[in-house]
Chain A
């Protein structure tokens, strides 16, 4: 793993990213080719969709405003022109209907990509995600597989109140038969979305609205049309030896910022980007904890039965004797998301929360 590079922010959604602008902008970098290209998460997702649709005529996109409007968040931009209305389907506002239609199409071997304008709306269709998509292969004893992707922005957005602002990783992550992915960087977005589309099983693909406009360095390897990432494998975003911080989606960026601050105080934090919520990369998490002996989990979702809770359980089960401190769980507050900006900020994890928890785990805290 190479050193840390600083970078500036190029976002079309600056206003929505206020909370993102504080602190130094630091990202771990892999060994990218000399002139590191940059790509936004939006373009990464769009190019992944484009390439997979081009590679396989069975792949099609269906959802609200995905066609003529080019996507509510412009993830499907240009696809209608390229692939036509038969493969980029604008649906009526009928989540249960079109999610189920996607499942039925997948039954017959098509590869639907169902876009939810946000995952909050997937609640209207959760029956088809859980009961139709996730269970059919099992109920039919392997006769009927469901190669479908449900994708859209997930997690806390900014200023949109309780119904439009929550994380569903733990909800879908608890359901057997689903694979649940949560990309952070542009490389993640490309590699995981392409893997999801090629996967023979139903995948819930949790994007983040606030990351769409973010640019990340991207390697030539990741730009190759054959590129895809393994499902079920986490990525060590930054190596460290004193404390392990697990995170996914937007929180990976926060964890990296926290690691930078901690480094200045002499604490070496290892940041794990989970990438896959289900399957969860338990070996990577446990290997890291056995090295650092301390664990901080970070997520935007609710604390009870959350992703962090599952990680804690895994570490307690498999690496109990390696722990030198109680596990710290950082989660969203156990309340529906408030509207007021100051309350909202308190309701989701912040970089300083991660720093504080990591110091506590390292017995370096006064609080």
Chain B
């Protein structure tokens, strides 16, 4: 099995698959598409003047470029479907399934609660993209960091932040993971190393790169030899045209930082198609341009995502530097709950709805006799209860008290701002003390 990515290897097309576990999937899209260089279209059909929706041949992928880790290749080339050659064990499968179902159920509940006025502002839901969050984040240790965007609820959940805390945050309650001070787009959890949702395009990437820089600094300067923490930066296709993306690809590769840049290419900004926004829409190709592997993976298939992620994480942990992974995925809802979502073609939506990552995993597990219906039903039920419980918890939790308004502006324990007595806190003689008398 290959131990490292190399750009040249990655440029090889994946050989056609015959009878890997996944190819028994009778999804017609799947079987044809391995013959082609690509099986994702984005909105190409819209640009090609109202032709009927024809999945396989894509204008999006102009060359036979397809990059997947050697691991996937090796495993997929094996023809037998005995348990030992499956991509996951039963336990892993159940964990992945549970996490994806949690993400889906949580977000569906968010939509309900938003329309009921329980949460407010911008709420961006993750439906459809679960395979990416689950496939990547479930491989991480607690000490590893995740930096997200405004579409961050599910990343936080995958990283282990309790659903109660995330829901409460969305309700603006003190029991939220940020006591109601962050909100939908700004999920932080120091305990779980969720270093924030960032509300601006590209903003999270340098911060994530800085987190990765810390791992290297701890190892090399602070001599914490065992510090092998990695950081994952999640962002979308639209971000890949932003300067901070390029700035950080450069520095991460230059300094060999332990970071994985995960592009969740859901093909659309809000109403701007990726193809209308990007001169070369194959984002993964920008990795090799900076001297790091670029990998393109089916972001609707959690098992493929996971295999690619495994190798990228291993590479980062070994100290071999960053990886750029483009996950081609799709959001099943509008950009945010305020988006009427009128520009995306229903045929395109149907195409991707048929590739629902949760159904796909289910199918894989059934076909390989990893689980039975009852086991999955039990998970579904448990998650439903968990999400219900989160809502009840959030609903019953107290709103922040008035005095909380001025808390946490500074880490400085003496605080700053206007105190309860109406005086500026910096007037406190002990506000900040130096050694000098002035």
A-to-B contact residues, CB < 8 Å: 57-58, 60, 86-87, 91-92, 94, 96-110, 112, 127-128, 131-132, 136-147, 176-177, 179, 191, 195, 199-201, 221-222, 224, 226-235, 279-283
Q: How far is the CA of A224 from the CA of B434 in the complex (A)?
A: 13
Known: A201-B411, A228-B434, A228-B436. Is A101-B206 also a contact (CB below 8 A)? yes
- Residues of chain A within 8 A of B436, CB atoms compared: 191, 221-222, 227-230
Across the A-B interface, give the 9 residue pairs with the lowest CB-CB distance, nearest first: A104-B210, A100-B206, A97-B247, A145-B411, A140-B188, A279-B426, A141-B179, A143-B190, A101-B210
Residue among A101, A143, A201 making CB contact with B209, cutoff 8 Å: A101
Q: Mark B148-184, 1 if CB is under 8 A from A, else 0.
A: 0000000000000000000000000000011111110
Report whether A140 and B182 are in contact in the complex, using a CB–CB cutoff of 8 Å: yes
Q: Is B38 an interface residue (CB 8 A)?
A: no
Q: How far is the CA of A128 from the CA of B196 in the complex (A)?
A: 13
Query: A144 vs B188: C-alpha distance in the bound complex, in angstroms?
Result: 8
Given A86-B217, A143-B191, A201-B412, 20 new contacts (CB under 8 A): A60-B217, A87-B221, A92-B251, A97-B206, A101-B213, A103-B206, A104-B209, A104-B214, A128-B206, A138-B181, A139-B183, A141-B179, A143-B189, A144-B196, A191-B434, A199-B432, A200-B411, A222-B436, A228-B434, A232-B416
Residues in A whose Cβ lies below 8 Å from that of B416: 232, 279
Q: What are 24 residue pairs bridging A and B, where the CB atoms are less than 8 Å apart in the complex?
A: A94-B251, A96-B243, A97-B250, A101-B210, A101-B251, A107-B195, A107-B214, A128-B203, A137-B409, A140-B182, A140-B408, A141-B178, A141-B188, A143-B190, A176-B409, A191-B436, A199-B432, A221-B436, A227-B436, A229-B436, A229-B438, A230-B431, A232-B426, A233-B432
| A residues less than 8 Å from B199 (CB atoms) | 131
B64 to chain A minimum Cβ distance, whole angstroms, is: 33
Residues of chain B whose beta carbon lies under 8 Å from any beta carbon of chain A: 145, 147, 177-183, 186, 188-191, 195-196, 198-200, 202-203, 205-214, 217, 220-222, 243-244, 247-248, 250-251, 254, 407-412, 416-417, 424, 426-427, 431-436, 438
Contact present for B411 and A131 (CB under 8 Å): no
Provide the bound-state CA to CA distance between A140 and B213, in Å: 21
Could you tell me the distance between the alpha carbons of A96 and B189 in the complex, rounded to whole angstroms?
24
Q: Which residues of A contact B189 (CB under 8 A)?
A: 143
Is there contact, CB below 8 Å, between A139 and B188?
yes
Q: Are B408 and A283 in contact (CB under 8 A)?
A: no
Contacts of A128 on B, CB cut-off 8 Å? 203, 206-207
Task: Give chain B residues whose Cβ lies under 8 Å from the Cβ of A58.
Answer: 222
| Residues of A with C-beta under 8 A to B205 | 100
**Contact assessment for A96 and B244 in the assembled complex, using a CB-CB cutoff below 8 Å:** yes
In whole angstroms, how far apart are the Cα atoms of A232 and B190 in the complex?
Answer: 29
B411 touching A137, Cβ below 8 Å: yes
A97-B434 in contact given A60-B217, A138-B409 (Cβ < 8 Å): no
Q: Which residue of B lies closest to A201 (CB)?
A: B410
Would you give the shortest CB distance from B26 to chain A, in whole angstroms?
45
A38 CA to B208 CA, complexed, in Å = 43
Contact flag A140-B211 (CB < 8 Å), given A92-B247, A94-B251, A229-B438: no
Query: Which of B200, B210, B217 interacts with A103 by CB under 8 Å?
Result: B210
Contact yes or no, B434 A230, CB < 8 A: yes
Cα distance A89–B191 when bound, in Å? Answer: 29
- The docked-state distance in angstroms from the alpha carbon of A298 to that of B172 is 43
Q: Which of B178, B203, B417 contacts A131 (CB 8 A)?
A: B203
Is B221 a contact partner of A86 (Cβ separation < 8 A)?
Answer: yes
Contact of B196 among A97, A139, A281 (CB under 8 A): A139
B-chain residues with CB within 8 Å of residue A232 when the two chains form the complex:
416, 426, 431-432
A140: nearest chain-B partner, CB-CB: B188
Contact with B251, one of A98, A179, A221, A229 (Cβ below 8 angstroms): A98
Inter-chain contact B411/A147, CB cutoff 8 Å:
yes
Residues in B neighbouring A102, C-beta threshold 8 A? 210
Name the one of B181, B182, B200, B432 contacting A127, with C-beta atoms under 8 angstroms: B200
Q: Given contacts A101-B213, A104-B214, A201-B411, are A282 and B427 in contact (CB under 8 A)?
A: yes
Do B207 and A107 touch across chains, with their CB atoms under 8 A apart?
A: yes
Asked if A142 and B200 make an inter-chain contact with CB atoms under 8 angstroms apart, the answer reads: no
